[in-house]
């Protein structure tokens, strides 16, 4: 008979089950926050993702760039951007060299909403900052994300653990090394998102 992760009776002999159970519980965090924010701002979860992306990664200033980052189709993002534009949270400016292209920027109201939406993550960060062994935790999370990406469970992430420039440590106590930045990376320096990332395959 299978041991099911969601059955707490299996946890005693399976630390892996406990970790997955905890991850599932934690995944509720952002879902609940998203529902609450939806009531407050009348924005869909995707519209919220778009305003926060434009606020904190303004170089992703086109429908194509945002769609690629969020792993969605251009049509899906374009629809959401149209609504955000109607609500006057996002402006679309034609590219001076190609009128068919538009650059996306947040209005002041859009930027304010993005910042309000992001306060929740900051609150969670305050609790995370209290944890011991944060570097080990980060490294383990990145290794898990690597396995999930390689096995098709999550889309491509621009993180160190799947980057062609990362050299893994050899021997106890050795550091990772980024060949592009030409510097060692301690576990705490590993990036979850890196603009210089290049896929290993």
At 148, list the tokens.
Answer: 């999930």
67 interacts with ligand SF4 by CB under 6 A: no
Smallest gap from Cβ 26 to ligand SF4, in A, equals: 24
User: Using the rule CB under 6 A, which residue among 18, 138, 165, 169 binds ligand SF4?
Assistant: 165
The structure tokens 């920027």 sit at: 105
Smallest gap from Cβ 66 to ligand SF4, in A, equals: 20
Gap between the Cα atoms of 90 and 107, Å rounded? 6
Gap between the Cα atoms of 50 and 81, Å rounded? 8
160 interacts with ligand SF4 by CB under 6 A: yes
Taking the least distance from each CB to ligand SF4, the nearer of 89 and 176 is: 176
Which residue, 166, 163, 159, 162, is CA-closest to 193? Answer: 159
H helical segments located in the chain:
15-41, 45-56, 63-70, 74-86, 108-128, 134-150
Taking the least distance from each CB to ligand SF4, the nearer of 8 and 155 is: 155
Taking the least distance from each CB to ligand SF4, the nearer of 82 and 168 is: 168
| Footprint (CB under 6 A) of ligand SF4, residues 82-121 | none
142 interacts with ligand SF4 by CB under 6 A: no
166 interacts with ligand SF4 by CB under 6 A: yes
The structure tokens 């086109």 sit at: 62
At 129, list the tokens.
Answer: 């900052």
Pick the piece of the chain touching ligand SF4 (CB under 6 A) from 37-45, 49-57, 99-107, 178-186. Answer: 178-186
80 interacts with ligand SF4 by CB under 6 A: no
3-state secondary structure of 91: strand
């Amino acid at each position: 008979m299978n041991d099911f992760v969601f059955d707490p009776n299996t946890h005693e002999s399976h630390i892996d089950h406990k970790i997955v159970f905890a991850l599932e519980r934690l995944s509720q965090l952002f879902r609940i926050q998203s529902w609450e924010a939806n009531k407050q701002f009348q924005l869909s979860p995707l519209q919220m993702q778009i305003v926060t992306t434009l606020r904190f990664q303004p170089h992703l200033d086109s429908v194509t760039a945002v769609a690629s980052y969020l792993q969605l189709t251009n049509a899906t993002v374009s629809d959401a951007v149209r609504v955000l534009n109607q609500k006057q949270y996002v402006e679309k400016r034609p590219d001076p060299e190609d009128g068919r292209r538009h650059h996306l920027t947040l209005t002041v109201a859009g930027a304010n909403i993005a910042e309000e939406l992001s306060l929740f993550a900051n609150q969670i960060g305050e609790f995370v900052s209290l944890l011991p062994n944060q570097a080990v935790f980060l490294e383990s999370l990145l290794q898990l994300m690597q396995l999930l990406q390689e096995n098709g469970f999550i889309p491509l992430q621009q993180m160190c653990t799947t980057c062609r420039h990362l050299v893994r440590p050899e021997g106890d106590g050795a550091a990772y090394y980024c060949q592009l930045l030409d510097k060692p990376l301690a576990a705490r320096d590993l990036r979850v998102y890196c603009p210089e990332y290049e896929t290993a395959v």
